[in-house]
């Protein structure tokens, strides 16, 4: 796992600027660095920068890496899990390899297939490839966007990097706040692809290529999530058995490593299933597992994690996350994020990554299961919402105010929280309902919050839902979650938190072969009536300890509501003070003070709205105010 950056354009590459861009990614690759500069020729120059976290072929796998004659140069962030099969095929066609690294496969594959070589890769990646004879740059991002890639086109030049902080080192990088992206962040808790928080900087979508030549660029999609029936008639039992086989193979692929390897273990079905498959593949006692606990009981899952670890005989280690840890971590996490990001679970994910990195360099996790197998509580809630036929005036004037009178609890997924969340979007269309359930400020709330008229914050969600290659309602929701929430929240959280600690995290549920199989699985095996992840539960119920497969989803949350009234009260009050808000001129002071006061006095639960504002203020102070 690594960090990449670079620039192509008409002007000669400033090597010192390229070096600064690269150094800003050192946390992603602390082991080594490398550079390639193509001098100005035919009016075009190019520079590539690379930071390395050594995982495979530690001795000779540094980058940039080239083909035999050096005409193709590559910097690559990620892992190619099928590189051995690809290498054997390339060797039979006469290609010669200088390393044992997975990265070298790609330059030779490019020689044969050009940019569409990316279609052959099973892995997680973002890469930049400079084709010297063609004077062409190829940027690519893996199918789900697990690995990040930002870019900006300015005056005929193109800057790119794994994180915004690398681009910011170049004098051409735009630095102004993008108000449209701010509106989207306030609603969603993240900035959705292809936008970034800086005006003029974009994110390459997962499953896409960017081709640049002579100052012009084009973007092509090379893969999309698909749905359809399996060839032939299969029973439910056949699907369950095939899933079990494909899932184990996906885990096996991700055990390739020349450095110590382990797994995150929360005690939920996703991470427990990954650990079960690891235990089946590795000798007894070699699986290392890591978990985080909380003092607040409704948020703590450490007991379940210990039970799973004991069942499979893992070398298990755990730590406890406290409010003091949160305060200590906030500056480091804001520094890592680059963009404002309000999924509070990034904090325990960072702590877990730091704790895990003390023992291993690679960890497997359960990301992707909830999106692809309809695992969130919002999926069964959607079925209830589609039956919800309350007249609009009754909904707005009677039920919503009644729900507001429920006693406010700070517990994880408390009854009042679920009822209020459900009602705030139950009457909306599906493409608006889900992002509103998951997010912070509802679109109509932005009018009162912002000093300028807000833009449409749910544009990407509507587009994704409308473009789903299926008419089945559940599959359209799976597509929506995969293209938005998974790519821009879950994967961003894990990538930034883990790479800040120089830890690589692999996601077996996002294996290409497994994902394409899941696209053929009937919707009834994903959501069976109101039971989420039915297929996974059936496949793992006799493998996991009793009760683990059927546990209610808890999520990796933290006690934000309680801490905002306690340990964080002074910090959030300071960041949202009238003087600070007045100097920014972005938010309506009276509205922010109302939300803050209602939460601090216990009259309302505004945990998500306040955390979203708080994280923006911390980001603004760190990245824009200086």
DSSP letter string, 228-268: -PPSS---HHHHHHHHHHHHHHHHHHTT--SS-EEEE--SS
Structure tokens at 307: 């039970």
User: What are the beta bridge partners of residue 210?
Assistant: 139, 219
Half-sphere exposure of residue 92, counting CA atoms within 13 Å on the CB side?
Answer: 5
Query: Measured between alpha carbons, how far is 372 from 375 in angstroms, rounded to an integer?
Result: 8
Splitting the chain (626 residues) into consecutive groups of 10 residues, what average pLDDT does each group show?
A: 90 95 89 88 92 62 84 94 93 88 92 96 96 96 97 96 96 96 98 98 98 95 91 85 97 87 94 97 91 72 90 93 79 90 93 94 96 96 84 66 63 65 82 94 94 94 96 97 98 95 95 96 95 97 92 69 88 95 95 95 91 96 81
Of 374, 320, 292, 377, the C-alpha closest to 556 is: 292
What pLDDT is recorded for position 237?
94
pLDDT at position 239:
96
Q: Are the beta carbons of 536 and 268 closer than 8 angstroms?
A: no
State the pLDDT at residue 293: 81
Give the C-alpha separation, 462 to 184, whole Å.
13
3-state secondary structure of 587: strand
Give the pLDDT confidence score for residue 428 in this predicted structure. Answer: 87
What is the set of active-site residues? Answer: 2
Residue 57 exposed, middle or buried by CB count within 10 Å (0-12, 13-18, 19+): middle
pLDDT given for residue 514 in this prediction = 97
The pLDDT, as a whole number, for residue 560 is: 84
What sign results for the dihedral spanned by CA atoms 581, 587, 593, 599? negative
- Give the domains, in start order, of the chain with CATH numbers: 2-221 (3.60.20.10), 236-374+490-540 (3.40.50.620), 389-426 (no CATH), 559-626 (no CATH)
Query: CA 305 to CA 302: how far, in whole Å?
Result: 5
Q: Assess contact for 292 and 352: CB atoms under 8 A.
A: yes
Between helix 179-188 and helix 430-438 the angle, nearest 10°, is 80
* Number of helices (H), then strands (E), in the chain: 27, 17
Q: Where are the alpha helices (DSSP H) in 292-372?
A: 302-312, 323-337, 346-357, 369-372
Q: According to the model, what pLDDT value does residue 60 have?
A: 53
Q: How much is the pLDDT for 509? A: 98
Residue by residue, DSSP assigns 147-202 as S--EEEEETTEEEEESSHHHHTTSTTS--SB-HHHHHHHHHHSSPPTT--SBTTEE
What local confidence, expressed as pLDDT, does residue 324 receive? 78
Write the CA distances from 359 to 273, 315, 520, 530, integer angstroms. 22, 11, 39, 40
């Amino acid at each position: 796992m690594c960090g990449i950056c670079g620039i192509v354009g008409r002007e000669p590459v400033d090597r010192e600027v390229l070096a600064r861009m690269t150094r800003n990614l050192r946390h992603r690759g602390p082991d080594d660095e490398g550079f390639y500069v193509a001098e100005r020729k035919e009016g075009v120059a190019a520079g590539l920068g690379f930071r390395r976290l050594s995982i495979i072929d530690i001795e000779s796998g540094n980058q940039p890496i080239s083909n035999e004659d050096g005409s193709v140069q590559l910097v690559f962030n990620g892992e190619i899990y099928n590189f051995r099969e690809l290498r054997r095929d390339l060797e039979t066609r006469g290609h010669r390899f200088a390393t044992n690294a997975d990265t070298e496969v790609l330059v030779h594959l490019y020689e044969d297939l050009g940019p569409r070589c990316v279609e052959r890769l099973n892995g997680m990646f973002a890469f930049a490839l400079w084709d010297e004879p063609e004077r062409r740059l190829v940027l690519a991002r893996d199918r789900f966007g697990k690995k990040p890639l930002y870019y900006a086109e300015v005056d005929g030049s193109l800057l790119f990097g794994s994180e915004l902080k690398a681009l910011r080192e170049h004098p051409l990088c735009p630095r102004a706040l993008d108000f449209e992206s701010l509106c989207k962040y306030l609603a969603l808790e993240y900035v959705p692809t292809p936008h970034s928080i800086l005006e003029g900087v974009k994110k390459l979508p997962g499953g896409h290529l960017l081709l640049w030549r002579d100052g012009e660029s084009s973007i092509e999609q090379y893969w999309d999530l698909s749905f359809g029936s399996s060839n032939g008639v299969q029973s439910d039992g056949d699907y369950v058995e095939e899933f079990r086989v494909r899932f184990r193979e996906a885990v096996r692929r991700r055990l390739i490593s020349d450095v110590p390897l382990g797994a995150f273990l929360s005690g939920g079905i996703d991470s427990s299933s990954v650990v079960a498959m690891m235990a089946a593949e590795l000798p007894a006692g070699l699986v290392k597992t890591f978990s985080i606990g909380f003092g607040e009981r409704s948020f703590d899952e450490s007991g379940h994690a210990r039970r799973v670890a004991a069942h499979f005989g893992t070398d298990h280690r755990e730590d406890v996350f406290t409010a003091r840890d949160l305060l200590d971590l906030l500056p480091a996490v804001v520094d890592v994020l680059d963009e404002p990001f309000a999924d509070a679970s990034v904090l325990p994910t960072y702590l877990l990554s730091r704790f895990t990195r003390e023992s291993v360099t690679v960890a497997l996790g359960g990301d992707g299961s909830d999106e692809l197998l309809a695992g969130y509580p919002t999926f069964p809630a959607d079925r209830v919402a589609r039956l919800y036929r309350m007249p609009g005036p009754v909904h707005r004037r009677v039920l919503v105010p009644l729900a507001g009178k429920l006693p406010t609890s700070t517990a994880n997924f408390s009854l009042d929280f679920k009822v209020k969340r459900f009602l705030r979007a139950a009457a909306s269309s599906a493409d608006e309902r889900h992002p509103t359930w998951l997010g912070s400020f509802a679109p109509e709330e932005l009018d009162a919050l912002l000093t300028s008229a807000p833009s449409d914050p749910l544009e990407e969600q509507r587009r994704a839902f409308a473009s789903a290659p299926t008419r089945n309602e559940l599959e359209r929701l799976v597509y929506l979650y995969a293209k938005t929430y998974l790519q821009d929240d879950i994967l961003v959280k894990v990538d930034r938190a883990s790479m800040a600690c120089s830890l690589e995290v692999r996601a077996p549920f996002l294996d290409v072969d497994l994902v394409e199989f899941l696209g053929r699985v009937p919707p009834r095996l994903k959501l069976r009536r109101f039971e989420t992840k039915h297929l996974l539960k059936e496949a793992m119920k006799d493998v996991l300890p009793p009760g683990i497969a059927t546990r209610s989803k808890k999520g990796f949350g933290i006690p934000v509501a309680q801490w905002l009234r306690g340990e964080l009260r002074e910090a959030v009050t300071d960041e949202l003070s009238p003087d600070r808000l007045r100097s920014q001129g972005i938010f309506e002071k009276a509205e922010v003070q109302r939300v803050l006061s209602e939460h601090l006095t216990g009259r309302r639960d505004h945990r998500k709205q306040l955390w979203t504002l708080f994280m923006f203020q911390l980001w603004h102070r760190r990245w824009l105010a200086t």
